[in-house]
Amino acid sequence: MTASPDIAEFWRAARAAVPALPADPPPADRVWGFGATPEHADELLALVLAGTKTGTAGSLWDYEADGEPVTRVGEHDVILDGAGAPRAVLENTSVEVAPFRDVTEEHAFSEGEDDRTLASWRRIHQDFFTRYASHDRGFRDDMPIVCERFRVVYSI
């Protein structure tokens, strides 16, 4: 596997701190930043690093449109900041798919955004899934949402 020099160096530092991490860094589709803009990536990363954000959600339709596999429990992700620099390693601890309308209050709280209520989660995510969709199906309240929970295993 070939990783960018920044990712390879970051992964070496992560493994030095957490020797139980796999020898090779995650594949390119597991190296990403939150949100759709550099500012959003930095805002959400700050919530992760503060321990406030322990969950995230994505449209299953976007995974399909982008040809990306759905996250699996136990996988590791390298999280980038808004400038594209690696900042954290997450381990996925739970992955569930549910219709948008059935996402739980508990999951909304885990995402750590706004006032952490289900109402604000729905407002924020309906806007996000409408504005930044990779697919062409539009927003629907029955669209499948991949709800992930994670823990930070390493950060700089």
As a CATH number, domain 29-155 is 3.10.400.10
**What pLDDT score does 98 carry?**
98
The full set of domain ranges for the chain reads 29-155
Give residue 95's pLDDT: 98
- The whole model's pTM is what? 0.92
For the chain, give the secondary structure using H, E and C.
CCCCHHHHHHHHHHHHHCCCCCCCCCCHHHEECCCCCHHHHHHHHHHHHCCCCCEEEEEHHHHHHHCCCCCCCCCEEEEECCCCCEEEEEEEEEEEEEEHHHCCHHHHHHHCCCCCCHHHHHHHHHHHHHHCCCCCCCCCCCCEEEEEEEEEEEEC
pLDDT band at 122 (very low <50, low <70, confident <90, very high): very high
